[in-house]
Amino acid sequence: MSRMLKVRNNDNCHQRRMPYGTNLKQYLFAEEIWYLFLHFWIKMSFLLFFLRLSRSKRFRTGVYCVMGANVFVTVGTWALYSLQCIPIEAYWYPERHPDVVCLPFSVSLWLPATAVSATSLSEECRD
């Protein structure tokens, strides 16, 4: 926290100092939630397009199943990220909550990535 960043306007007249790394974890957390939201809608747009490709009931049922999996994975990942430390503030400021045990980093990293990859592969492997 001793290092400082200089933030300047375009005219270089105004200058203020802010601590290096302020709220970076909170920003990255919010960015990850937003990324998942966008990823969800990109997948849904492809899946809705796939519904138009075939009138086969089997194909359409498969698309609906993948849509359900996409919703489940997105909501589950949001829940995992939001509940990885209780209270969530312990994730951002571990020094304020020394007794809180959070999920291991590898679980919060690999579990959502595996689930998202599985739904992506299920889109590709449909009949």
pLDDT, position 9: 46
Q: Are 86 and 45 in contact (CB under 8 A)?
A: no
pLDDT, position 42: 93
pLDDT tens readout for residues 18-58 = 456 556 777 788 888 899 999 999 999 999 998 998 888 98
Work out whether the CA dihedral 22, 25, 29, 34 comes out positive or negative.
Answer: positive
| Domain definitions of the chain by residue range | 23-124
Q: Kindly state the DSSP code that residue 16 receives in the 8-state scheme.
A: E
C-alpha to C-alpha distance for 78 and 91, rounded to whole angstroms:
15
Contacts of 40 (CB under 8 A, 6+ apart): 70, 71, 74
Confidence of residue 120 (pLDDT cuts 50, 70, 90): confident
pLDDT tens readout for residues 53-108 = 888 898 898 889 889 999 999 999 998 888 888 888 888 888 888 888 888 878 88
pLDDT, position 126: 58
